[in-house]
Amino acid sequence: MKTMQFKAYGGPEQLVMAEVPTPQPGPGQALVEVAASAVNPIDWKLHSGLLRWVRPVRFPATPCFDFAGEVKALGPQTTGIQLGERVFGMLPMRAYGAAAEYMVVDAAYVAVMPGNLSFQEAAGLPLAGMTALQALRDQGRLVAKQRVLIVGASGGVGHYAVQIAKALGAQVTGVCSTRNIDLVRSLGADAVIDYTRNEAMSQHGPFDLIFDTVMSQAFSHWHPSLGRDGVYVSLLPQAGLILHSLTLPLYSRQRVRFTFAKPNREDLAYLGGLAQNGQLRTVIDSVHPLAELHAALQQGQTGRARGKIIVAVKQ
Ligand SMILES: NC(=O)c1ccc[n+]([C@@H]2O[C@H](COP(=O)([O-])OP(=O)(O)OC[C@H]3O[C@@H](n4cnc5c(N)ncnc54)[C@H](OP(=O)(O)O)[C@@H]3O)[C@@H](O)[C@H]2O)c1
């Protein structure tokens, strides 16, 4: 089978197509014929060597965590999925590599795809969608009628976060640039802040939850807009923020929390249900064939994606 590989740390231009044996599913695993995958910032960050001190990569390495495809074989004692089912999911950090024609995956990381989604739409959802869900629901403890600010509302994580927050019954304000205002409104945001206009944040809020997917501004920029019991959730444990997370509880009811996507079938099924009900859609920034995975990663590196960058594995 064909797969894309990095042989050593480097930029997307170092990716090469390789022919490798089709893997065999072990106990509790499924073999999936991948129809589509998606790229996330972690893919280029891991293979550039940026995270080598915390997440070293073993080469050759096949990028990508997200997949949507069809179950072609089941290992012994595999339960919860059937042969021939259309499934989607996210591979765990210790076993990623979805940029390939076939991959094996533990059944715990797979769910049945919502019937109304294409493979490409479903492939965008797992990593970014579970990050958004777990940030809002588990770290932010968002409930109906609360006010939430989503920073980076047009990006991979942010565009799902806007829709999930609406589905949870929240009042949503999205932060994006001028060119993405219509998109973010179309996802259901009640209000939009255009970050290119440098508006004073004091005009907005207070928010019960600020979910920052961009993390380009210091916490002090957002703090005045955080409600008395507000929670600020970040995707990146920067040193200054860790300090705030430790000191804020000493003198206030506000909290700083971090989220790290944890793949699991229940959350995939929840997101699938929202998609099935028409409450969650994937905005597709661009689609790249497997052989041009480097172009997908380069597009991700620009930091300008609107929604998800998709890899079409099966044409
Ligand atoms: N901890 C975890 O488990 C986890 C999981 C997923 C992602 N992450 C991290 O979270 C970050 C976001 O991931 P992603 O997949 O959403 O990235 P992404 O899709 O590449 O985000 C791009 C979007 O960010 C917007 N943006 C850039 N600067 C902005 C600003 N100052 N204010 C508002 N929006 C801005 C861009 O809009 P414009 O072009 O209009 O500026 C673009 O739509 C990455 O650093 C990623 O590594 C962490």
Fold observed for domain 2-126+264-312:
Quinone Oxidoreductase; Chain A, domain 1 (3.90.180)
Among candidates 144, 150, 147, which has minimal Cα distance to 162? 150
Q: 308 is written with which tokens?
A: 């998800």
| Res 159 pLDDT > 90 | yes
pLDDT of residue 204: 86
User: What is the CA angle 69-114-34, rounded to 5?
Assistant: 5
**Closest ligand 1 atom number to CA of residue 300:** 20
Q: Where along the chain do the CATH 3.40.50.720 domains lie?
A: 127-258
Q: What share of the chain is helix, strand, coil (3-state, %, to 5)?
A: 35, 30, 35
Phi/psi at 234 (nearest 5 deg)?
Answer: -120, 160
Query: What's the gap in Å between 91 CA and the centre of ligand 1?
Result: 20
Residue 258 has pLDDT above 90, yes or no: yes
What's the CA gap between 196 and 206, in Å, rounded?
21
Q: For residue 17, what are its two tokens?
A: 């197509």
The answer, yes or no, to whether any atom of ligand 1 lies below 6 A from the CB of 193, is no
Centroid of chain to Cα 270? 15
Ligand 1: centre distance to CA 268 (Å) = 21
- Using the atom order of ligand 1, give the atom closest to the CA of residue 151: 33
Question: Distance, CA 73 to ligand 1 centroid (Å)?
Answer: 36
Residue 279 binned pLDDT confidence (cut-offs 50, 70, 90): very high
Query: Residue 306 Cα, ligand 1 centroid: separation in angstroms?
Result: 9
pLDDT at 315: 82
Q: Which ligand 1 atom lies nearest to the CA of residue 45? A: 47
**C-alpha 237 to ligand 1 mean position (Å):** 15
What's the mean pLDDT when you consider all of the chain?
97
Asked whether the predicted pLDDT for residue 203 surpasses 90, the reply is: no
Q: Give pLDDT tens digits for 67-80.
A: 999 999 999 999 99
Which tens digits make up the pLDDT trace of 34-59?
999 999 999 999 999 999 999 999 99
CB 173 within 8 A of CB 181: no
Ligand 1 lined by 152 (C-beta under 6 Å): yes
296 confidence band (pLDDT: 50, 70, 90) = very high
Shortest-distance atom of ligand 1 to CA 159: 16
CB of 129 within 6 A of ligand 1: the answer is no
Print burial letters for 25-42: b (CB count within 10 Å at least 16), e (below 16): beebbbbbbbbbbbbbbb
40 lines ligand 1 (CB under 6 A): yes
The per-residue pLDDT for 260 is 96
Whole-angstrom CA distances from 235 to 161, 207, 274 are 13, 18, 23
Q: What is the pLDDT of residue 199?
A: 78
Q: CB of 90 closer than 6 A to ligand 1? A: no
Nearest alpha carbon to residue 69 among 94, 99, 37:
37
- Report percent pLDDT > 90 for the chain: 97
DSSP-derived secondary structure letter, 135: I
Q: How far is the CA of 277 from the centre of ligand 1 (A)?
A: 26
CATH classification of 127-258 is 3.20.20.70, yes or no?
A: no
Burial (Cβ within 10 Å: 0-12, 13-18, ≥19) of residue 99: buried
pTM for this entry: 0.98
Best CA proximity match to 91, nearest among 78, 106, 102, 80: 106
Among all chains, which residue has been given the structure tokens 């661009």? 286
173 C-beta closer than 6 A to ligand 1: no
Q: Which atom, in ligand 1's list, is nearest to the CA of 152?
A: 34
| Residue listed under structure tokens 């004091």 | 202
Centre of ligand 1 from the C-alpha of residue 305, in Å? 8
Q: Who's near 93: CB < 8 A, 6+ residues apart? A: 55
Sequence ranges of the chain with CATH classification 3.90.180.10: 2-126+264-312
Question: Looking at the predicted structure, is the pLDDT value of residue 201 above 90?
Answer: no
Residue nearest to atom 8 of ligand 1 (CA): 235
For ligand 1, atom 15, the nearest C-alpha belongs to: 156
What's the CA gap between 211 and 140, in Å, rounded? 8
Residue 219 CA neighbour count, 13 Å, CB half: 23
Mean pLDDT of 97-122: 98
The closest residue, in CA terms, to atom 11 on ligand 1 is: 213
pLDDT tens track for 8-29: 999 999 999 999 999 999 999 9
Tell me: pLDDT of 200 over 80: no
Pocket test for ligand 1, best of 139, 176, 212 (most atoms within 8 A of CB): 176
CA of 234 to the centre of ligand 1 (A): 11
pLDDT bucket at 307, cuts 50 / 70 / 90: very high
